[in-house]
Chain A
């Protein structure tokens, strides 16, 4: 545990990529193979199932720290991290622990089947036996994932240095559905088995936002121009008469979308599609809000399937007839893709080509972009026709050119302390708009980002001085501050008190020049909903 805890501490105590890579390489060079597999798993968010519910862990921690539960809870709200709070309040050991990470993981997996009394004994024993930072890491393994910011890029670079294998090869090996409990380091990294490939997705190619001017991209005909669909990026794999659906977060979501279960048989084995899952109510593309009803559900009722069906807007073909074709040009891949989608067997499936807009000038492209909201898209994707399908986020061949966000002036009404690097600062805000007769403020969105650190500090200190009421970690504040809130889209919603849902709300600007009387109303927001008259 000492070695792994030191790794986490090193990763956590630097912002420099080179230092992070050095720490990982050092770990991969020193740690036993079984630990390495678990370390890779944990740092790529594949943690063992949670063995005990956190409510009861909190009560045990309070008891071990000899403080009342309410005081533990208050401390937790301030620290902003449960694992850290426990490590801080329960007295830890001065000695570090040499027991291996995989040994701990084994115990934690077995813990799940023990009764509460045995669980408590195990936790309390370790809290007291581990040194502070080890205890923190131990608690992270018990309570949740380590959000420590190791991107796929960093991980593969470090492994590449440590093993001598190529980064792109490693990125592919680390994708998908491997089980750290049964995989060895050798099978995962050095020499993969054929059977491991069946469900394995390719690393997604990700685009950067457009920098500079559009006409600097050269000749418009060199580019494939599509709309940027606002759904869930997904890779659908058909191999061995089976279908696998992967989300961009490397989550296997096959079960959630039965619409695609008819693909094997109609699509040849050895096909991998890249596209966007979109809601498709009444035969037209829906809003992200429509899709939301599907995202969280594991069990899909017939009714829901009828009300909120989904489709895949397909934009790329990564594997064809069992061969990885990512190195072919986009033009070639799209040719093959279009052929595939024209096949009558495929016509029955909910697969739609993401059309290449044939435009003759950048002016026409800009015009198309301005119509994005009418198409239910977030803007345009510009992809160089002769580009291969790359690994991860790379500049140059793919650009996203989003429409400018919508925005509205709203009043700050509630605030909560942030987490992570915003621990102990009020940075999570709730905003309200005026109701119809402008007599009452109605909550419409929460936003966490968009202010500079200095602005957050100012607002934080204002909140502390202008608190009306406290509800646990949440404070209501005097309605006084006005912020311009930006968002990508807006739709009617039954799940929101205001009746309206906004997509990706964030703070655009602190409007210190505005009084709350000048803030917008819900009616103003409603006016921004596209197709409102058709609803």
Chain B
């Protein structure tokens, strides 16, 4: 039997023909990286290939690395295998990886969403034979509402808190979610303050995207000046001593998991906004259909349930174990850079 074009081994998703790994979880010689989240772009590879927009991001996270930037749709050949990157719509600089060899086409999504969030380059479906898809939210209860509605609610929440003389603390990942939130916060309500991890990452992205102004919270920031304004913080800041400066404050989290009442209550967070950078159930099904693929490999998420449903629908679907984490299920587990002192 011929080796499949991509296999799952102990180091990651491997293309033997090209001797290239996609988002490897152990150090390898050559890695194509879909996006800058820590579970997809790990430390220690000899050579990184990724989208040009993602280059400053992973350099910021990983320090001095050997990295080559590619444009979307730009073909590059490694040992007779043709690779190209295509927009995944997940976060800024995120790509799907198309792999073609002898007429056979595979696509690996990394993380993706089909809604255009106005920050990341919008997702584009790529025709393929085998589609390796995440399914973080691959069960029917996950149904996103359009982001305009969510941002309307977020701004309304902020305005209400301001009226009550409280500081709004909004949690979102420092890369991706934070900038998406930042982009749509209504600065006519008040000022936007940031946690160090978010400020640093946003600074990296400012040359590429227009964001409203932000103020970093430092030791010298006065408690009083925060009142009525909004603070963007990574989830790991929840329950930390850092957050005490914001008293009196109200907390909210923006995540796909906020769709569940239980998840909201577990976090002891005042308010949950359902906002994800992954596909919802319908989004996944739509994406799969538009690729025309017959073979589907489900990686991280509700893989067993999702692939069983796909088999019911007539797809040749299976699951593979990976070390990707999708949208982290819990607070305080996101690997975060230390805030600037």
Residues of A within 8 A of B (CB): 12-15, 65, 67-68, 70-72, 74-75, 78-81, 84-85, 88-89, 418-425, 453-454, 457
Docked complex Cα distance between A78 and B257 (Å): 12
Query: Contacts A71-B305, A457-B330, A457-B333; is A421 near B140 (CB within 8 Å)?
Result: no
The stretch from B4-12, B17-25, B93-101, B265-273 touching chain A is B265-273
Docked complex Cα distance between A453 and B332 (Å): 11
Docked complex Cα distance between A375 and B236 (Å): 50
24 A-B interface contacts by CB (under 8 A): A13-B264, A13-B271, A14-B270, A15-B268, A71-B140, A75-B139, A79-B141, A80-B260, A80-B262, A81-B261, A81-B262, A88-B141, A88-B143, A88-B259, A418-B262, A421-B266, A422-B262, A423-B263, A424-B257, A424-B260, A424-B262, A425-B266, A454-B332, A457-B333
Docked complex Cα distance between A457 and B328 (Å): 12
Are B302's CB and A423's CB within 8 A? Answer: no
Docked complex Cα distance between A185 and B261 (Å): 31
Docked complex Cα distance between A74 and B141 (Å): 10
B residues in contact with A65, CB < 8 Å: 140
Docked complex Cα distance between A43 and B188 (Å): 40
Are B329's CB and A424's CB within 8 A? Answer: yes
Query: Contacts A12-B261, A68-B312, A78-B302; is A423 near B140 (CB within 8 Å)?
Result: no
Are A84's CB and B140's CB within 8 A? Answer: no
Which of A15, A419, A454 makes the CB contact (< 8 A) with B262? A419
Minimum C-beta distance from A78 to chain B (A): 6
Docked complex Cα distance between A457 and B334 (Å): 13
Minimum C-beta distance from B12 to chain A (A): 17
Minimum C-beta distance from B172 to chain A (A): 18
B residues in contact with A71, CB < 8 Å: 139-140, 305, 309
Query: Contacts A78-B141, A88-B259, A424-B260; is A12 near B302 (CB within 8 Å)?
Result: no
Name the residue on A nearest B304 (C-beta): A470
Name the residue on A nearest B271 (C-beta): A13
List residues of B (291-309) whose CB comes within 8 Å of A's CBs: 302, 305, 308-309
A residues in contact with B302, CB < 8 Å: 78
Which of B143, B266, B309, B329 makes the CB contact (< 8 A) with A453? B266
Are A74's CB and B305's CB within 8 A? Answer: yes
Name the residue on A nearest B239 (C-beta): A453
Are A85's CB and B141's CB within 8 A? Answer: yes
B residues in contact with A454, CB < 8 Å: 332
Docked complex Cα distance between A65 and B281 (Å): 12
Residues of B within 8 A of A (CB): 139-143, 257, 259-266, 268, 270-272, 302, 305, 308-309, 312, 329-330, 332-333
Are A423's CB and B141's CB within 8 A? Answer: no
Name the residue on B nearest A149 (C-beta): B265
Name the residue on A nearest B142 (C-beta): A88
Minimum C-beta distance from B273 to chain A (A): 11
A residues in contact with B330, CB < 8 Å: 457
Which of B260, B308, B329 makes the CB contact (< 8 A) with A79? B260
Docked complex Cα distance between A51 and B336 (Å): 50
Which of B141, B268, B271 makes the CB contact (< 8 A) with A75? B141
Query: Contacts A78-B141, A88-B141; is A422 near B266 (CB within 8 Å)?
Result: yes
Other than A78-B139, A80-B260, A454-B332, give 15 A-B pairs with Cβ distance below 8 A.
Answer: A13-B271, A13-B272, A15-B270, A71-B139, A72-B140, A78-B141, A78-B302, A84-B141, A84-B260, A88-B142, A420-B265, A423-B263, A423-B266, A424-B257, A424-B329
Are B261's CB and A84's CB within 8 A? Answer: yes
B residues in contact with A85, CB < 8 Å: 141
Minimum C-beta distance from A137 to chain B (A): 11
Minimum C-beta distance from A149 to chain B (A): 10
Docked complex Cα distance between A47 and B80 (Å): 69
Docked complex Cα distance between A272 and B257 (Å): 50
Name the residue on B nearest A418 (C-beta): B262
Docked complex Cα distance between A88 and B266 (Å): 19
Q: Which of B260, B261, B264 has the most CB of A within 10 A?
A: B261
Minimum C-beta distance from A10 to chain B (A): 11
Are B265's CB and A12's CB within 8 A? Answer: yes
Minimum C-beta distance from B137 to chain A (A): 11
Minimum C-beta distance from A36 to chain B (A): 24
Docked complex Cα distance between A453 and B239 (Å): 13
B residues in contact with A84, CB < 8 Å: 141, 260-261
Docked complex Cα distance between A350 and B148 (Å): 68
Docked complex Cα distance between A421 and B263 (Å): 6
Docked complex Cα distance between A81 and B268 (Å): 19
- The 3 A-B pairs of least Cβ separation, nearest first, read A423-B262, A88-B141, A421-B265
Docked complex Cα distance between A423 and B264 (Å): 10
A residues in contact with B329, CB < 8 Å: 424-425
A residues in contact with B271, CB < 8 Å: 13
Docked complex Cα distance between A72 and B140 (Å): 8
Name the residue on A nearest B305 (C-beta): A74
Minimum C-beta distance from B268 to chain A (A): 6
Name the residue on B nearest A417 (C-beta): B262
A residues in contact with B262, CB < 8 Å: 79-81, 418-424
B residues in contact with A457, CB < 8 Å: 330, 333
A residues in contact with B268, CB < 8 Å: 15
Docked complex Cα distance between A12 and B305 (Å): 29
Minimum C-beta distance from B235 to chain A (A): 13
Query: Contacts A13-B270, A74-B305; is A424 near B263 (CB within 8 Å)?
Result: yes
Name the residue on B nearest A9 (C-beta): B261
Docked complex Cα distance between A339 and B120 (Å): 82
Minimum C-beta distance from A181 to chain B (A): 29
A residues in contact with B265, CB < 8 Å: 12, 420-421
Docked complex Cα distance between A390 and B86 (Å): 69
Docked complex Cα distance between A453 and B262 (Å): 13
Docked complex Cα distance between A297 and B232 (Å): 55
Minimum C-beta distance from A68 to chain B (A): 7
Docked complex Cα distance between A453 and B264 (Å): 14
Docked complex Cα distance between A80 and B261 (Å): 10
Are B140's CB and A67's CB within 8 A? Answer: yes
Query: Contacts A79-B260, A81-B261, A454-B332; is A89 near B141 (CB within 8 Å)?
Result: yes
Which of B142, B260, B309 makes the CB contact (< 8 A) with A423? B260
Are B139's CB and A74's CB within 8 A? Answer: yes
Name the residue on A nearest B321 (C-beta): A465
Minimum C-beta distance from B52 to chain A (A): 35
Docked complex Cα distance between A418 and B262 (Å): 9
Query: Contacts A13-B264, A81-B261, A423-B263; is A75 near B332 (CB within 8 Å)?
Result: no
Name the residue on A nearest B140 (C-beta): A89
B residues in contact with A74, CB < 8 Å: 139, 305
A residues in contact with B308, CB < 8 Å: 70
B residues in contact with A453, CB < 8 Å: 266
Minimum C-beta distance from B270 to chain A (A): 6
Docked complex Cα distance between A454 and B239 (Å): 13
A residues in contact with B270, CB < 8 Å: 13-15
Docked complex Cα distance between A420 and B261 (Å): 7
Docked complex Cα distance between A424 and B261 (Å): 11
Docked complex Cα distance between A80 and B270 (Å): 21
Docked complex Cα distance between A152 and B262 (Å): 23
B residues in contact with A88, CB < 8 Å: 140-143, 259
Docked complex Cα distance between A67 and B305 (Å): 12
Minimum C-beta distance from B300 to chain A (A): 11
Name the residue on B nearest A79 (C-beta): B141
